[in-house]
Chains A and B, each alone.
Chain A
């Protein structure tokens, strides 16, 4: 504490704290090496009123879609390198390619491409909050429609 009695030393210590804080801020904003991408493929239909218990926690997100039943068909996660690309197999001969673009302001930009039998269905770039998700839905499947929940977490 005697060190702090001297104003010159106090200034030195605060400058050091300032430099360290600036370093931490810089580190916090640095691009992550990997992004964990999770794809949950859900079948939405109106044949029954069943709600798959594996989808617990997603009720509020699925509610606006106004289908009567939701069933989880597949859940897959992969660690995708920053600026890398990974493909996820989707039922019905489809494929979803995900490529993280940038990480800024705690948001991850994802370039997403859905193809069906090698033909592109949609190309989109979406910025989602870290650990957040968005929903891509609509492709018909097995008497209902597919709903894809695409989430990303910076590693």
Chain B
């Protein structure tokens, strides 16, 4: 048999229908035999009744229609794409999720550096001239020409004009003409 204090603590939940069948039956049996606890039950029922009546009276004064209409409009309303994108970015670039950016960044840099090997002519204009590293013409005259328009490097061998004139009737025009 449960004592009155424990029963009174459970009356509220019993009234709200939160107790299982066995507990409900135990309280019902106790209330039938205990005058004091029945009074407590009646007091609680009165409070509940007053609260219900007051809330209903207050609720009647509230205009719910515009509120529900607003809720329905917001449910039907689609989020603009830029807000969705922003939200997605926020979710992706939070500190805990952004760890992939480091290897991804390095991969992008490496890919850019290697593009030149796979797309011939990408660096043209920057590095398209032939460059002469060393030259030995064994005492002959040499002229070097780098022509911008066609990006051509020319190494030109020539002999002194006087020497040519002295050794040939019709000199070969090997002196640089450019």
Interface residues of A (CB under 8 A from B): 7, 10-11, 14-15, 17-18, 21-22, 24-25, 28-29, 46, 60-61, 63-67, 105-107, 109, 120-141, 143-145
Q: Is the CB of B96 within 8 A of A17?
A: no
Partner of A106, one of B97, B117, B170: B117
Which residues from chain B contact A143 at a C-beta distance below 8 Å? 170, 172
Which residues from chain B contact A46 at a C-beta distance below 8 Å? 173
**A28 CA to B113 CA, complexed, in Å:** 10
Number of interface residues of B (CB under 8 A): 52
Given A106-B123, A145-B173 in contact, is the A122-B155 Cβ separation under 8 Å? yes
A-B contact count (CB 8 A): 147
Given A11-B103, A17-B107, A122-B155 in contact, is the A25-B114 Cβ separation under 8 Å? yes
Given A66-B178, A131-B120, A145-B173 in contact, is the A125-B133 Cβ separation under 8 Å? yes
The closest CB in chain A to the CB of B175 belongs to A138
Q: Is the CB of B107 within 8 A of A18?
A: yes
Which residues from chain A contact B106 at a C-beta distance below 8 Å? 18
Partner of B114, one of A28, A128, A140: A28
Given A14-B104, A21-B114 in contact, is the A63-B130 Cβ separation under 8 Å? no
**A111 CA to B130 CA, complexed, in Å:** 13
The closest CB in chain B to the CB of A45 belongs to B173
Q: Is the CB of A140 within 8 A of B132?
A: no
Q: Is the CB of A144 within 8 A of B172?
A: yes
Partner of A124, one of B118, B147, B155, B174: B155
